């Protein structure tokens, strides 16, 4: 019987730590040998999250590593050397790809620069706030993108005013009382 384990690892930086180690441990295989092979196969994809399947024969303990391609968004971020897309796509640009870059991304993801794959890359770029063929970001646009990222990070760190954090309770309800008694029909059920 073959056990299949699917994980996302950073290219060239897989470790025996979670999620890989705990998933492989019960199979009693050489975890370090598997980690070393994953790192060798994903070294060229350094800096990107890569889907990896590890197939282990439970009887013989033999294993096979299958490396997928990174998501289009990861390839775009690496191509533009950016950390994130725009937090306000459609309003704030995070970068710009040339049509040649779009075709190269389609080739690396799908091994084809057919129009449907190119359109898929363009669609992903657009959803990330990245334009195609409009030219590099101006200094004002770069500043706006950095400010939007900073604001998004700060607002994610604290709950909005007036709301309580998850798991937090308050005395009574907003109506100022106890929970309502169930209606007569609900009591009979």
Beta bridge partners of 9: 50
Residue 163 makes CB contacts below 8 A (sequence gap 6+) with none
Q: Determine contact, residues 23/7, Cβ cutoff 8 Å.
A: yes
pTM above 0.85, yes or no: no
Phi, psi of 10 (to 5 degrees): -80, 135
- Kindly list the structural domains of the chain, giving each domain's residue range(s) and its CATH number in brackets, ordered by start: 2-67 (3.30.1550.10), 72-155 (1.10.10.250)
| Each residue's pLDDT tens digit, 70-95 | 899 989 998 998 888 888 877 888 88
| Each residue's pLDDT tens digit, 12-71 | 999 999 888 899 989 889 999 999 999 999 998 888 889 999 999 989 999 999 999 889
β-sheet with 63-67: strand ranges across:
2-10, 49-57, 63-67
């Amino acid at each position: 019987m073959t056990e299949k384990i699917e994980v996302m690892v950073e290219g060239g930086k897989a470790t025996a730590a979670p999620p890989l180690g705990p998933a492989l441990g019960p199979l009693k295989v050489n975890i370090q040998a598997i980690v070393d092979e994953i790192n060798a196969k994903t070294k060229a994809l350094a800096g990107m999250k890569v889907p990896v399947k590890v197939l282990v024969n439970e009887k013989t303990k033999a294993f096979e590593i299958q490396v997928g391609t990174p998501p289009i968004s990861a390839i775009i971020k690496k191509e533009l050397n950016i950390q994130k897309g725009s937090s306000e796509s459609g309003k704030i640009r995070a970068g710009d790809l040339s049509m040649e870059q779009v075709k190269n991304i389609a080739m690396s993801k799908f091994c084809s620069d057919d129009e449907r794959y190119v359109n898929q890359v363009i669609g992903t770029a657009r959803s990330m706030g990245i334009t195609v063929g409009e030219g590099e970001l101006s200094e004002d646009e770069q500043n706006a993108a950095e400010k939007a990222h900073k604001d998004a990070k700060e607002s994610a760190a604290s709950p909005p005013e007036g709301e309580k954090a998850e798991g937090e309770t308050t005395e009574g309800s907003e109506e100022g009382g106890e929970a309502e008694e169930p209606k007569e029909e609900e009591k009979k059920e």
